[in-house]
Amino acid sequence: MTVKAVLLDAEEKQVSNNDVRVWLIKLKDVLYDAEDVLDEFECETQRKQLLKLYGSTTKKVGRFFSSSNPFAFSFKMGHKIKQIREQLDEIASHKAKFHLNIRDEGRGSMPKERAMTHSFVNVSDIIGRDKDKKNIIRLLQKPNGGEKIDVIPIVGIGGLGKTALSKLVYNDKRVQDHFQLKMWACVSEDFDIKNLIEKIIKCATSDGENRSNLEVEQLQKILREKIGDKKYFLILDDVWNEDSMRWDPLQELLFTGANGSKILVTTRSKKVASIMGTISEPYELSGLPHDKCVALFTRCAFKEGEEKHYPNLLKIGDKIVEKCKGVPLAVKTLASLLLTNKDESYWKFIRDSELWKIEQKENDKILPALRLSYEQLPAYLKKCFAYCSFYPKDYEYTSFALIQLWIAHGLLESTNENEDLEDIGRRYFQELGSRSFFQDFEDYDCYIECKMHDLVHDLALSLTQNEFSAITSTTTHISKSVRHLLFPDFTSLPHGVSTLLQDLEHVRTAVFMRTEEISQSALDLCLSRLKYLRMLDLSESQLEVPLERIGSLKHLRLLFLPEIKMVPNSICKLQNLQSLLLLTEELPNDISMKYLTALETLIIEDCENLNLTMEEGQADQDWARFSLQG
**Model pLDDT for residues 576-627, shown as the tens digit of each residue:** 999 988 776 566 665 667 778 888 888 877 666 555 444 344 444 554 555 5
pLDDT at residue number 516: 57
Neighbour count for residue 586 (Cβ, 10 Å): 17
pLDDT at residue number 413: 83
Residue 404 CA to residue 197 CA, distance in Å, equals: 32
Condensed to tens digits (0 to 9), the pLDDT of residues 455-474 reads: 999 999 999 988 999 988 78
> What's the CATH fold of domain 129-284?
Rossmann fold (3.40.50)
∠ Cα 468 469 473 (to 5°) = 170
pLDDT at residue number 518: 58
Cβ–Cβ under 8 Å, residues 378 and 108:
yes
Domain over 466-629 is classified CATH 1.10.10.10: no
Q: Which long-range contacts (CB under 8 A, 24 or more apart) does 537-542 make?
A: 537/401, 537/509, 537/510, 537/511, 537/512, 538/512, 538/562, 538/564, 539/401, 539/563, 539/581, 540/512, 540/513, 540/514, 540/515, 541/490, 541/512, 541/515, 541/516, 542/212, 542/213, 542/515, 542/516, 542/518
Spacing of C-alpha 148 from chain mean position = 39
Strand order of the β-sheet with 283-284 is 181-188, 232-239, 262-267, 150-155, 283-284
Residues of the chain short of pLDDT 70, as ranges, are 1-6, 15, 54-68, 102-125, 359-364, 490-492, 494-495, 515-520, 542-546, 562-565, 584-592, 606-630
Residue 248 CA to residue 191 CA, distance in Å, equals: 12
Residue 115 CA to residue 442 CA, distance in Å, equals: 16
Residue 256 CA to residue 227 CA, distance in Å, equals: 7
Phi and psi dihedrals of 412, rounded to 5? -90, 130
Rounded to the nearest 10°, the torsion over CA 230, 236, 240, 243 is 0
Domain assignments of the chain as residue spans, ordered by start: 3-98, 129-284, 290-457, 466-629
Residue 204 CA to residue 193 CA, distance in Å, equals: 16
Residue 437 CA to residue 389 CA, distance in Å, equals: 12
Single pTM value for the model: 0.84
Angstrom distances, CA of residue 230 to CA of 143, 259, 290, 581: 16, 8, 42, 41
pLDDT at residue number 47: 78
Cβ–Cβ under 8 Å, residues 80 and 33:
yes
